[in-house]
Amino acid sequence: MTAGAGAATGVDGSGDGNGGGNGKGRGDRTGPGESSVYENARLQFECAADLMKLDPDIRRILSATTNEIVVNFPVRMDNGRVKIFTGYRIQHNGILGPFKGGIRYHPAVDLDEVRALATWMTWKCALADIPFGGATGGVQVDPAEYSINEIERLSRRFTVALGANIGPDYDIVAPDVNTNPQIMAWILDAYLCTVPPHERQRSRRVVTGKPVESGGSAGRAKATGQGIVRMVEMWAREHGVDPGGLAYMVQGFGNVGAHAAFLMERAGARLTAVQDVSGAIANPDGIDPEELAKHARRNGGHVRGYPGASPIDDLTFFSTAADVFIPAALENQINHRTAPLLKVKVVAEGANGPTDPAGDRILQQKGIDVLPDVACNAGGVIVSYFEWLQNKRGERWDLDEVDGRLRKRMERSYCRVRETATTYRTDWRTAAYIVALERLQTVYKERGIFP
Ligand code: NAD
């Protein structure tokens, strides 16, 4: 069995894989003339820093990553030979608390990408008002090419290679593209083998997004999708629209995209088009997300071939008329080529960095609203924080409690971003950054720079 069918992220977090991207064709993040992902993150930061007149010293600090860990580590393959893999952990900023962020397995993982993802995590935690800093890690690997046992050995060796660079009160990891609760359980188990026995109980919170039985939180698997749907509902209410009457399209049908679709369906909205790494499908009368998820589970995580919809090409996908577009795959998907095609009213960013600066400009010109990633997809890290807190306190919260607390935080973020956008007369992405930067600036000013 290959990891594509077993280790990549399942829509239910159970380990039924999506097969991952292949880093080519539809998997590409950048194309000719497109800027790097980190350059995009930097430009977004500069724009907000200029507008709010961020203190120049604090600006210098926040422009740099704090620690950049690169590890080359060996993994024994099923054929008995050893292969060397490259992994990363970038810790962008820790002024608000321990570093926090996902671990991604993808062939396109490189320094540029993880720097951007780590930076976005800093803004996301600051905006959500949770006491974490920003980090992200990953391994340059296409999990679809490896067996489940090889992915387990890779996950464990990567953890050991990171060593003391992660820790329960230092840097806490979580799932991201092509990683899932099972992989988090292996990372946790390997990490615990590296600490003294009396440290093991308190160390379990080094990983969030664990299986519930291994100390995970109720509601973590759906949390990112749930946060996105709450943001869309808030947007709909403000625009006098019934969420139940919305038509929407989703790019990426993994953890984030599928859970967002399940919850949009529950709100009565109609899913009209889906794209994943295997291709795109559409049905103007509606696609049943639960049925599609069953189909994907049987097909290596892929939506292609779903009998309840017709195959469409990528350009047709982006041109589909709908109210809401939820990108939930990779970076740079809404760009100078695809943004002109979009016929939606709002983009609810489930993925990190799905819109590049050229895409942003085009969306603004077209009057398409954007619920920016650092606000819209924060549900995952918010419930990761709840999981970390439960582990720290030896508590177990029930689903209602988790859902209720998540809902309040998403609503608070939405309102703060809206108010800031009004105050500064700016777009919502810049406003979201300003909320985060104001908080970071306050803490730097209070604490000062030593010596
Ligand atoms: P996942 O691995 O579960 O799913 C990724 C999906 O994207 C798959 O359906 C895959 O087929 C699809 N995909 C990959 N390349 C594609 C391409 N080029 N075009 C179209 N589809 C493509 O990953 P996930 O955890 O759902 O993460 C998706 C996005 O959401 C990422 O940007 C991630 O950083 C972000 N995110 C995830 C979480 C989380 O809790 N998992 C939280 C916040 C943000």
Task: Assess whether pLDDT exceeds 90 at residue 202.
Answer: yes
Tell me what pLDDT residue 34 has.
60
Average pLDDT estimate for 242-271: 98
Percent of the chain's residues with pLDDT above 70: 92
Q: Sign of dihedral through CA atoms 234, 287, 382, 441?
A: negative
Q: Sign of dihedral through CA atoms 141, 298, 102, 390?
A: negative
Q: Who contacts 16 (Cβ-Cβ below 8 Å, separation ≥6)? A: 5, 6, 10, 296, 297, 301
The class (CATH top level) of 223-376 is alpha beta
| Tokens coding 135 | 């980090």
Average pLDDT estimate for 38-44: 97
Average pLDDT estimate for 378-397: 98
User: pLDDT averaged over the chain?
Assistant: 93
37-214 and 223-376 share one fold: yes
Residue whose Cα lies nearest atom 29 of ligand 1: it is: 351
Tell me what pLDDT residue 35 has.
67
Q: What residues does ligand 1 touch, defined as CB less than 6 Å away? A: 9, 18, 21, 26-27, 175-178, 224, 251-257, 275-277, 328-330, 350-352, 377, 380
Q: What is the pTM of this model?
A: 0.94
Could you identify the atom of ligand 1 that is nearest to the CA of residue 296? 9
Q: How far is the CA of 33 from the centre of ligand 1 (A)?
A: 24
Ramachandran area for residue 315 (φ above 0: left; ψ -120 to 50: alpha; else beta): alpha
Ligand 1 mutation target, pool 139, 256, 314, 387, most atoms within 8 A of CB: 256
* Spans of all domains in the chain: 37-214, 223-376
Tell me what pLDDT residue 169 has.
98
How far, CA to CA in Å, does 383 sit from each of 106, 117, 191, 304, 376?
Answer: 24, 18, 22, 31, 14
Q: Sign of dihedral through CA atoms 194, 198, 202, 208?
A: positive
Task: Assess whether pLDDT exceeds 50 at residue 33.
Answer: no
Task: Assess whether pLDDT exceeds 90 at residue 7.
Answer: no
Q: Which fold has domain 37-214?
A: Rossmann fold (3.40.50)
Task: Assess whether pLDDT exceeds 80 at residue 16.
Answer: no
Listing DSSP states for 173-216 in one string gives: EEE-TT--HHHHHHHHHHHHHTS-GGGHHHHGGGB-S--GGGTP
Q: How far is the CA of 343 from the centre of ligand 1 (A)?
A: 22
Q: Who contacts 233 (Cβ-Cβ below 8 Å, separation ≥6)? A: 243, 267
Confidence category of residue 104, pLDDT binned at 50, 70, 90 = very high
H or E, element range at 103: strand 99-106
Under 8 Å between Cβ of 435 and 417: yes
